[in-house]
Amino acid sequence: MHDQGPGEAEVTEGSHGIWERLHYDWSDPDRVIAATIDSNVWGGCSGHTYTLTRRRDGTTEVEVAVVREGKNPQGRVLAAALATLGKPALRQALRQPVKAIEARSDDATVSRKNCASGLR
């Protein structure tokens, strides 16, 4: 982490020789924007936008928009591969954290119900 403030942070992330420095902005409770500031492969308007829509049933729909503009040959090849294979891979990658969040939410609901009924 390079910098952090209310509703924002600047971090460097990466793996397998690919890195990017991102500016995260979560000042809008319905949207998280991760804009690429610098990277060894990504340029232009690269980044991620997560739009959160709360449903009446208490769940939240998460829409993810990913923009990948390669700034060199490696980045252009990766961008083309992600355009083809990225959606299923991202969907799979997000399943586990969503399940973990849902489990925590379910545990908190049970805990609140137990507290309300005098059980601990």
Of 66 and 110, the one with more pLDDT: 66
Domains of the chain, by residue range, sit at: 3-86
Strand duo 18-28 + 60-70: pairing: unpaired
Q: Pick from 30, 110, 93: which is nearest to 82 by CA?
A: 93
Read off the pLDDT of residues 13-40 as tens digits, 9 standing for 90 and up. 999 999 999 999 999 999 999 999 999 9
**pTM of the model as a whole:** 0.71
